[in-house]
A = this chain, B = another copy of it.
Amino acid sequence: MMLLYHLWLSPFCRKVRLALGEKQLPFKMQVEKVWERRDDFLALNPTGECPVLVDEDGNRICGSQVICEYLDEMYGARPLLGTGAIERAEVRRLIDWFDRKFYAEVGVNLVEEKIMKRFLGLGEPSSSAIRAGGRNLHIHLAYIDWLVDRRTWLAGEEMTLADLTAAAHLSTVDYLGDVPWGDHSEAKDWYARVKSRPSFRPVLADHIPGAPPPRHYADLDF
């Protein structure tokens, strides 16, 4: 069975879990405390980061987008990156938007500040970072509103890895109860559709000891 080295509340690991779920591929998960910089793990991935997937043949694949491209190439049924070069370019553009821009502008300011700092004993969260994250979050939700006002899913008429990626990132913020869904009804409707997919169920069951999610987190009718 495949093995995924992961961290709880990492949007990049969640993205891979969702992709594996959509492909209906069974896998085991192992938490990797990346801050311990374990030698065996650094030999697997010299960046020392999660996610890393070890497939059934022992091949190790590093990094969420590299893993997802690999899965789509190896398990072609239900393509997650779309069909056709132009469509895939749009899917990849949006993936990059959330993996890089959303994560830097929202995820780092909210999830990293509130959770990682606490767990690693790095002090109190910065209130200015949290304020900035909240402001930026509105801009990203407005972009989702705008996209799904014009398209069924973020990148077009089919559900793709762009939706899974955006939802993976949003889900970590939602775990903290920080998403102002009431101000963004179109984004909310879209998120409800992603959230109701079977691939999302394990992510909604995540429960970090000492930091439980708010009640609406796992609720499909939030």
Give the distance in Å from the alpha carbon of A85 to the alpha carbon of B66 in the complex.
Answer: 10
If the complex has contacts A47-B97, A47-B101, A143-B46, are A89 and B69 also in contact, measured as CB distance less than 8 A?
yes
A88-B62 in contact (CB<8A): no
**Chain B contacts of A20 at CB under 8 A?**
none
| B-facing residues in A65-90 (Cβ within 8 Å) | 65-67, 69-70, 73-74, 85-86, 88-89
If the complex has contacts A47-B97, A47-B101, A101-B47, are A88 and B73 also in contact, measured as CB distance less than 8 A?
yes
B65-A96 in contact (CB<8A): yes
**Chain B contacts of A88 at CB under 8 A?**
69-70, 73
**Chain B contacts of A67 at CB under 8 A?**
89
**Chain B contacts of A46 at CB under 8 A?**
143
